[in-house]
Structure 1
Amino acid sequence: MLPSREFSFNLLKEYNEDPYHISHALAVESVMAYFAELNGEDIDKWSLVGLLHDLDYGRYPDHHCIAVVDILKENGYPKDFISSITSHCYRGVSEKFKKPEHIMEKILFTIDELCGLIHAAALMRPSKSVMDMNVKSVKKKFKSKGFAQGVSREIINEGMEVLGWDLDYTIEHTLKGMQRVHEEIGL
């Protein structure tokens, strides 16, 4: 059994003080819940994986996905849950992590970076909101090499290929998931 969402959110705040990290975690949590619903999967588990995927980043950016293992173990999260979280780091951080295998892991791997891109794109809009964004506008930013250069399009593309998704579908549903929590994430 997993710890509660309230416990998990407090743990996230303990290790992350930067408002952007909290906002990103909430966005990924919502997108993961959205995709869990679409796939008839465990919404609570998928949500918590999204919420805690970058748990260690605020305090241990140089040990991202490494420090999280001990933090989660010490706080009662099961091994398979921890493995799902670290799988999103198998590229970009370290290929020593297992490749995403379960659909939940593949989706997390794919949408993590995309949430960051959508966040950055929203901030460029006059409204500073995801509520008036559409697939076309996000796709334009995705294809612009000069925009949000820290966002790995390669990881997003690799994830979409594994899932058999195209860019329009991925953006559309990631955006819908983020729109559900637009107030909480300040967009």
Structure 2
Amino acid sequence: MPTKQDALNLLKEYNDNPALVQHGVQVGACMAHFAEKAGEDAQRWEIVGLLHDLDYEKYPEEHCHKAAEIMRERGYDEEIVRAMMSHAWGICTDVEPLSPMEKTLYAVDELSGLVNACVLVRPSKSIMDLGVKSVKKKFKQKSFAAGVDREVVLKGAEMLGMTLDELIAEVIEGMRARAEECGVK
């Protein structure tokens, strides 16, 4: 089984855009956080987060499908490939998130992007002083981080049986725990 470092190297191999790599690292950190809370394998979950957008920069028209092919070639098992595919359910795949790992990835992907955008507009440029209230205010502002699909975030929270506030708090916590690695310290 490939390691977290192998996954990060693979992500960097297929993505030249530092923002896409950073997004993968942030989603990976959130996934590890949720896995630890659930008593699951944090490294497996983190790998799924790291690689969820593996093919997005080089193969946008084949998003997820090309990543699945690459991941299989590199020795990733079907549980990890399926989880990666599930994050784009209803967008470019028909793989519905069913397992806790899949539902978590679906829920945190878009929201981590919003949280990152919130950090970038803070005077401190840090997640250390970011609160749920600030993120919720920006969530309601449709023009802010307009690429973030709010419906996916809400559906993800529902899948996890969490309120939006709870989900936001956990995503902040997951990124805050690895603020330096995530580029949000």
> TM-score band (shorter)?
over 0.9
Counterpart position of 2:108? 111
2:127 aligned counterpart, secondary structure: coil
CA distance in 2, matches of 1:80, 1:6: 19
Equivalent in 169, 178, 182 of residue 179 of structure 2? 182
Counterpart position of 2:164? 167
CA distance in 1, matches of 2:182, 2:33: 16
What does 1:86-105 align with in structure 2 at a 5 Å threshold? 86-94=85-93, 97-105=94-102
Shift of 1:181: 2.0
CA distance in 2, matches of 1:121, 1:60: 28
CA distance in 1, matches of 2:60, 2:125: 27
1:90 aligned counterpart, secondary structure: coil
Counterpart position of 1:22? 21
Q: Deviations over 1:43-95 (max 9, x none)?
A: 1111111111111112112221111011001101112210111011112224x
CA distance in 1, matches of 2:80, 2:171: 22
Q: TM-score, normalised by structure 1?
A: 0.95
Q: Deviations over 1:135-171 (max 9, x none)?
A: 0001100111111111000001111112211011000
Instruction: Report if aligned partners of 1:121, 1:138 keep a CA contact under 8 Å in 2.
Output: yes
Kindly tell me the number of residue pairs found equivalent between the two proteins: 184
Is 1:129 the counterpart of 2:126? The answer is yes
CA distance in 1, matches of 2:39, 2:3: 21
CA distance in 2, matches of 1:14, 1:20: 14
Structure 1: give runs of 5+ residues left out of the alignment: none
Indicate the RMSD between aligned Cα atoms, in angstroms.
Answer: 1.0
CA distance in 2, matches of 1:86, 1:137: 31
1:170 alignment partner AA = L
Q: TM-score, normalised by structure 2?
A: 0.96
